[in-house]
Amino acid sequence: MKFFHCLTSLFNLLLILAGILNYVLLAVDPKGNKVNTYLGAILILVAFLNAAIEFYQAQKSAAVLQSFLNLMPQQCYVVRDGKSVQIPASDLVLGDVVFARMGDKIPADIMIFACTDMKVDNSSLTGETDPQDRSPINDQKNPLEARNLAFNGSLVINGEGYGLVIRTGDNTVLGQIAGLTAGEDSGKSPLTREIDDFVKIIASIAITTAIVFFLIGYFAVYRDQAGGISSTLNFAIGVFVAWVPEGLPATVTMLLTIAAKRMATQNVLVKDLTGVETLGAITLLATDKTGTLTRNQMTVTNIWSSNNMYSAFRSAANAGAPFDASSPGIPEVLSISALCSRAKFDRTDVPISERQVVGDATESGLTRFAAANIANFDELSDLYPKVFEVPFNSENKWAMTIHRKDHANGTYTLLMKGAPERILRLCSTILINNEAIPLTAEHSKAYDEMYTLMASKGHRVLAFAQLLLPGSQYPDGHVFDKEKKNYPTTELCFVGLISLEDPPKHGVREAIGRCRSAGIRVMMVTGDHPLTAEAIGRKINLVLSDTKEMVAKQRGCSVDEVGDNEYNAIVIHGEQIDSLSEQDWDLIFSKPEIIFARTSPKHKLQIVKHAQALGHIVGVTGDGVNDSPALKKADLGIAMNISGSDVSKDAASMILLDDNFASTVRGIEEGRLIFTNLKKSIQYTITHSMPEVIPNLLYVIASIPLPISAMLILVIDLGFELLISLTFAWDKPETKSGLMKLPPRKPVTPASIERRRRMALRALPPVVDAESGEEVQPSFMARFHHDFMAMFTGVYWREKFESTEDEVLVDAGLLSWAYLEIGIIETIGALVTFFVVLYKEGGVTPAMAVQMQKNGDFTTDDDNSEPAKLLAKAQSSFYLGIMIMQLFNLFACKCRYRLPFGMYMFSNVRTFIGVALGCALGFFIVYCPGLPVVFKTSNDTAFVYLLIPFAFGVFILFYATLRTLILRKIRPTALNEEIIGLNMVPTMKTMFSRTKSIQPSTKD
């Protein structure tokens, strides 16, 4: 069925129709049209080849639902009949009691009623980086944040618990996401729509011209002649074939394939070929935060101890003194980070930088930081063995361990880390310059300032404390008991604070900066907290302006007093999305800097739909299951390869192999380049249509001998033209930075939004089914009637000729070049060559040629007759003349902004390889012995006649130069203005210079 759909695309139908017409002609006149056997077979073969290529591309991305099934746990433990039994997860029913422990996947949506230190990883569903505590008690309103709910497909990473099954299968959160994903379709890409529009124009012209001139030719010329119907049909087919660029689908597909392979070397894997160009056309890029913009790896950034702030990275300007592991208080912070932790390295026989950490994200970050700064890290657990532990829990908000670590007053040392406000309450002293002194109000004030500073950056902040247990109370051999609570939890010594963040990936800041310079709006859509999202956004160029709240604070007024035009940045909480009106959405998307936080998969889908409704070409990046509906609905879904789930990869059209957001910018630049090159290639390719069509029309109207046969037309389209047009794929940008300084080719402006809404109001609305209440799209005939009647209204034509800023693949300028300018010049040059050969080789003037054509001298079946040989020479010169003039047109089409001279003409070596191969094929068709029998050419054609098209080719370059100079004056190229405040300093480059010395275990 899919192959049939590809085969019945408009372009392939045109080719099949042309092929069938040739066989009809063969049936009408089997003796005189044997060449049509080859022509019909080739046309139909090309149609099937195009369909096969389209079918192969469509089959590459059809496994979305299967990838959801891979997330489903196959087996689970359930309590039935008073026993714990293992059953297939698919057999679960509502009300079952499920037991899940560390390492298990939750088999259904369950409500926790009993658990022990249970934590789950919801990152693939909600985007939350950190493990989420589970508890029978809930204090959250949002179901996705409820502490007593665990969702299907999420992983238990700590503890264990019992839960009651409340949803199964499609009703679970995972099932609903799968339903959203399966029910969405991004529709046709911008490139596909534009090619379809172009094919419709060409098809209409070709069919109309063929029918009209068939009727004119038959009734005005051939009706009274023998074999008149055959001759007229042969002419009509020639006109039809001349209009249809048979090599265009192959050219487009191959150019996109070459570009896709080039992008693969830059770590961008394209699943859908049209996605190559779509990436270059996007106007809005909606990106997830965790794993996409950030590294999904908690990293220590700042340390505060002994009233001193230290920066873990040299590049963190104004964030404290450079880190020094020997500074007062720092050894204690490192010791607590290493020992008061459940995180462990997976192995110890390789360097620390090559190890993986087993544990939650926060403890993993602390462990890596400690390992990088403690020389004997691997021996710590043996030097200071753990004798007692109280794991972190949601009630205490702290974790505590006791180690055999000798000190002046005893044997044991208590270490604690946790929520700063909880830890501070348990402390009575503070460590200042390696001495524990009483904790005063001044110390608390300094603590508050540092805590606020760290938290305001969106960092996670942890506090550290210790207590040197006196030997008189806790002698050697003392047994600590959790139930007896024979251990202290007060009068501790406050050691310091550590802030951790999920840092931006290398190159993200520059990537977003380049996107903004290119006129592409970048917005963040994440499940994280709004403050965290905004803090990251301000680090990576995503947010430069003030929000409404910031403006109100600066002015000292309420938020409601701030006008909508007084701020350019906006942060939207997911809870607001469901209540947003159309006016609210318009206001949000009118802002250049947008962040959506605490969003669900449904919210992400809504955001994409509303952006598309405004005319945005939307790209979405993401790596989680929760991103898959938006990835599939977007015009271009971009998934992460390393951190991405199988679901997101299957739903996306493009995959970043290195998980680096910066690769997206390289893809955008490549997409813009391939669009430019594709446009140049089409401009070059269709130019030869006029020297093919006009001679066929003159063949009927003026009764001149046929200058070029349908077979030679096909040889042009699928021969040297195809080889030469492919060389455009390797053309470089005409300017070094021009492509990323130009605005998007379909910019979204207030005028474009208003125009789009006007058109939507006049579109035929869907019909509501009376029984089901579902919307049903109008039938094809209803849409055709509606569109046909619209053509008779003034509004329709006003909108057709309304000036817009959009740049389309085939525009008026390109058509003018191909059909009215260079096409006419080539037609004149080829006809001059044709008649010069007739005169020089046979003494036949144009008037004599017309008379001989009317007498039937050139239409004889005898290929060895003198008129037939003369016509073969003239047709061969006409064919080669088109090829030579197209070579000059090739270089004229390569420049849109430059003049067709200079070193840029030599920047693509493959151009000259293509020219050599194309010319070899062109001359091979004419001069190879035996081929003239098939193509009706002559290998006696003299080379001297080719100087005529050569002269016309030089004139084409002169005309192109003059045209470019005039257009530069009329329509100068406008580049995007510089963005104030745009910081293009590398995100992590300078940071790594410090990381290599103090954090060898941290990887990008």
User: Which residues have a catalytic role annotated?
Assistant: 288
Q: What is the DSSP letter of 731?
A: P
Structure tokens at 244: 């249809």
The rounded distance, in Å, linking the Cα atoms of 780 and 371 is 68
Q: What is the DSSP letter of 226?
A: T
Chain-centroid distance of CA 315 in Å reads: 31
Alpha-helix runs per DSSP H in 224-375: 228-243, 248-264, 274-281, 330-339, 361-373
Q: How far is CA 310 from CA 301, 322, 364, 436, 501, in A?
A: 9, 6, 20, 20, 15
Structure tokens at 605: 């889908």
The rounded distance, in Å, linking the Cα atoms of 582 and 578 is 11
Pairing of strands 636-640, 410-418: unpaired
> 959: Cβ–Cβ under 8 A, 6 or more apart, which residues?
821, 822, 825, 892
CB-side neighbour CA atoms (13 Å) of 20: 7
> 246: Cβ–Cβ under 8 A, 6 or more apart, which residues?
15, 43, 46, 714, 717, 718
Chain-centroid distance of CA 529 in Å reads: 25
Residue environment code for 329-353, b if the CB has 16+ CB neighbours within 10 A, otherwise e: bbbbbbbbbbbbbbbbbeeeeeebe
* Backbone angles phi and psi of 130, in degrees to 5: -90, 150
The rounded distance, in Å, linking the Cα atoms of 881 and 692 is 12
Longest dimension (CA), the chain: 129
Report whether 104 contacts 147 (CB < 8 A).
no
> 211: Cβ–Cβ under 8 A, 6 or more apart, which residues?
236
CA-based angle 441:447:449, to the nearest 5? 105
The rounded distance, in Å, linking the Cα atoms of 52 and 438 is 80
3-state secondary structure of 158: strand
Identify which of 558, 681, 615, 568 has the alpha carbon closest to the alpha carbon of residue 253.
681
- Element (DSSP H or E) covering residue 431: strand 427-432
Identify which of 511, 421, 515, 516 has the alpha carbon closest to the alpha carbon of residue 465.
421
Q: What is the DSSP letter of 135?
A: -
Chain-centroid distance of CA 147 in Å reads: 35
Structure tokens at 328: 């007062």
Alpha-helix runs per DSSP H in 492-600: 508-517, 530-539, 548-555, 574-577, 582-589
| 597 strand-pairing partners | 573
The rounded distance, in Å, linking the Cα atoms of 372 and 336 is 14
CA-based angle 213:216:221, to the nearest 5? 120
Residue located via tokens 């099937």: 48
Report whether 309 contacts 506 (CB < 8 A).
no
| 465 strand-pairing partners | 416, 494
Report whether 493 contacts 336 (CB < 8 A).
no
Residue located via tokens 């600590």: 480
